[in-house]
Amino acid sequence: MNKISVVISAHNEEKNIEDCLKSAQELAYEIIVVDNSSTDKTGEIARKYTKKVFEQKNDPKNIDLQKNLGFSKATGDWILSLDADERITPELAKEIESRIKNQESRIMGYWISRKNIIFGKWIKNDMWWPDYQLKLFKKGKGKFGKNDVHKALVLEGGSEKLTNPMIHHNYVSIHQYIQKLNNYTDIEAENLSSQGYSFNWLDAIRFPVNDFVKTFFLQKGFKDGIHGLVLSMFQAFYMGIVFAKLWEKEDFREVETPNFLQEVLSEFKDSKNKIIFWLTSSLISESKNPLKKLVLKAKRKIVRSKIKFS
């Protein structure tokens, strides 16, 4: 009752797929690869490790949904869902074997944390770590639903978290990030639109600023140095593109306001104050000097009084 089917879904992953397959070999009772219409050597490499390679048409807007084909082909008692850029460590493999051997009857799935390696560095801020994903589940008890960029796997039954993480080689280049951005922002804009988003042209400023504040300050991206700064800037850019695609859904309608420049100025002033407020808050939390903290708190109080809350 402890056989594990490893299911890997991939599209043009010839640079990643072999290391993924190697990392899963010792753990897997069987390996199933879903090749989503790759035009490179993904399928060829996969067939060196398993005969169970299934092809289907690629659907970039339903990335995770495509994994359900692999789940349906699995014959093991448990399914471990992997992406081509993920790696199973020996420590994680041992933990998985131990936990499913001794699991409680109510437990139907396990969450696994991921060490996200981005631009050559393990990113440890709150947006990227511990990044728990529901990756391991009993056959027939889990599948992906529609919508969302990366929708969580839907599980029938209880779940627990594992201790050891997997390795996730997330973004290795700026080119790769920008390539994926177009697809992800399509889905994000579609989701906001379907949820009844009410168009406001000032969101062209607010979306990027709010996401920069969230990732760099609230999620402590600053602790990852230049990596955290660039990723936070990218997240702001990401949300700028999301807004632009929402505007596109409005047929690029013109904004009719007699005080356009003044409203833009006001919004940028408010954005500046928000950034200063959260920058000061971060300095307070990082400072070990009681006197410096008092001075910073006084400055923060002044800045807070200037922020618009709407």
**Which pLDDT score, from 0 to 100, does residue 1 have?**
67
pLDDT in tens, 117-166: 999 999 999 999 999 999 999 999 999 886 555 567 889 999 999 999 99
pLDDT at 278 over 80: yes
Helix (H) or strand (E) holding 166: strand 166-169
Which is nearest to 219 in space by CA: 163, 297, 285? 285
Residue 259 pLDDT greater than 60, yes or no: yes
Position 65 scores a pLDDT of: 84
CA distance 213 to 236: 9
Q: How confident is the model at residue 310 (pLDDT cuts 50, 70, 90)?
A: low
What are the CA-CA distances from residue 246 to residues 180, 219, 241 (Å)? 18, 26, 9
* CA–CA distance, 114 with 125 (Å, rounded to integer): 12
Look at the pTM and tell me if it is higher than 0.85. yes
pLDDT > 70? residue 184: yes
Mean confidence (pLDDT) of the chain: 93
Instruction: Give percent of the chain with pLDDT exceeding 90.
Output: 86
Token representation of residue 118: 């981005």
Q: Which residue has the tokens 């131990």?
A: 98
- The whole-angstrom separation of Cα 81 and Cα 8 is 6
Report the pLDDT value the prediction gives residue 106, as an integer from 0 to 100: 87
Of 50, 58, 79, 76, which is closest to residue 13 (Cα–Cα)? Answer: 58
How far apart are alpha carbons 270 and 209 in whole angstroms?
A: 10
Confidence of residue 90 (pLDDT cuts 50, 70, 90): very high
Q: Which amino acid is at 100?
A: I
CATH T-level fold of 4-169: Spore Coat Polysaccharide Biosynthesis Protein SpsA; Chain A (3.90.550)
pLDDT of 291 > 90? The answer is yes
* Spatial distance between the Cα atoms of 277 and 109, rounded to a whole number of angstroms: 41
Please give the backbone phi and psi of residue 137, each rounded to the nearest 5 degrees, phi first: -155, 160
Amino acid identity of 288?
K
The residue extents of the domains of the chain are 4-169, 174-304
For residue 284, what are its two tokens?
A: 């307070």
Q: How many CB atoms lie within 10 A of CB 208?
A: 21
